[in-house]
Amino acid sequence: MKIYLKNDNPLSECYLRYVDILEKSNKYDCIIMNTDMTDEILESNKNILLLERLDCSSIWCRELLKHPHVKTLLKMYHRPSLSENNEPAVDKRIFIEFDGSEKPQTPELTAEDMKKVQPRFNFFHYSRFDSLFERLKSVRLKPSYERSVFAFFAGTTVYDESKPSGKWITEHRKKCIRGLEAMKAAGHNVIIADHRAFNNSKYIDIMLDTKIIFSPFGWGEFCYRDYEALLCGCNLIKPDMGHIDCVPYIQHEIMYCIDSERRANLEFAHALRKEKENEKQIIERILA
């Protein structure tokens, strides 16, 4: 297999860790990021393994997906419903509520197109997590009742409001902040920090002492925070995402409302670390 991936983004880096395995495979003619595709590569290779790097579960490289030479599209996150993938969307982001700016997603996808799509490497596999995995080797995860911070949110609150999606995400996140401020006013120990108020070490210190992490949508449904929270043994609360496939599958550990009786699932936190150790199996499944 020819490797057309560039070592210039964290998703490509995930696959390039296994370049020796990829090069030996004869299942596909080449592997390439959708943004690097050229007419020459598309026409000269009849079995293409295509990557799309998107925070959200929408499919943007729709015309490429429909091309007969593209045999498989690897996504970070995949919404398998054909009807959802063909609904109108705001700035091509399926999860954003309609505001009058939604437009049809074109070209329309078919069931055969959707059979080509697989969820594989995502935020969880990025090299930025290497230091966290290393740190957690020597950390005892405390159960919820030993943690002093009731709820924690640190993240961007203002997005590009010149775009309809940025305007919606900004208000969506501000609603989350308002809810957290109400909890804090009620006497709970709540930490709210805009953007990058803490260095990474302090940020993880707080997570390891937090019961509940709130993770509103950003440009996509998932983010780094989701995996950091679960790895640190926190309860993770997100908006309802419907059915989105990802590897590893974490949706059964996400809460869509506050349950004060829930205890952080420390067993899942440890199981998630094991998923990282078994990362090579993802490549093997792609090439099987």
Q: Tell me the pLDDT band of 257, cut-offs 50, 70 and 90.
A: very low
**Rounded distance between C-alpha atoms, residue 284 and residue 152, angstroms:** 38
CA–CA separation, 278 and 90 (whole Å)? 37
DSSP letter for 211, please. E
pTM of the model: 0.92
pLDDT given for residue 261 in this prediction: 42
Predicted pLDDT at 262: 46
What's the CA gap between 176 and 153, in Å, rounded?
9
**Which is it for the CA torsion 8, 10, 11, 16, positive or negative?**
positive
Indicate the class that CATH gives domain 127-277: alpha beta
Split at pLDDT 50, 70, 90, the class of 265 is low
Query: What's the pLDDT band for 260 if we cut at 50, 70, 90?
Result: very low
Phi-psi domain of 173 (left: phi exceeds 0; alpha: psi -120 through 50; beta: other) = alpha
pLDDT at 259: 40
| H-helix or E-strand spanning residue 43 | helix 39-44
Q: How far apart are CA 285 and CA 75, in angstroms?
A: 14
Q: Residue 227 has which token pair?
A: 């995996």
Pick from 93-102, 120-129, 263-272, 275-284: least confident: 263-272
**Residue pLDDT, tens place only, 19-71:** 999 999 999 999 999 999 999 999 999 999 999 999 999 999 999 999 999 99
**pLDDT reported for residue 270:** 80
Q: What is the pLDDT of residues 194-221, one digit of tens each?
A: 877 899 999 999 999 999 999 999 999 9
- The closest alpha carbon to 105, from 82, 87, 84, 78, belongs to 87
**Does the structure show a pLDDT above 50 at 222?**
yes
What pLDDT, on a 0 to 100 scale, did the predictor assign at position 263?
52
Confidence of residue 264 (pLDDT cuts 50, 70, 90): low
Residue 23: predicted pLDDT: 96
Question: In whole angstroms, what is the distance from residue 279 CA to residue 14 CA?
Answer: 10
The residue-averaged pLDDT of 137-164 equals 94
Examine the pLDDT at 172 and tell me if it is beyond 60: yes
pLDDT score of 275 more than 90:
no
Mean pLDDT, rounded, of the chain: 92
Predicted confidence at residue 258, as pLDDT, reads 39
Question: First CA to last CA across the chain, in angstroms?
Answer: 14
Three-state DSSP state, 233? coil
Q: What percent of the chain has pLDDT over 70?
A: 95
CA–CA separation, 22 and 28 (whole Å): 9
Q: Where in the chain is the domain with CATH 3.40.50?
A: 127-277
Tens of pLDDT along 223-234? 999 999 999 999
Q: Is the pLDDT of residue 246 over 60?
A: yes
State the pairing for strand pair 149-155/210-214. parallel
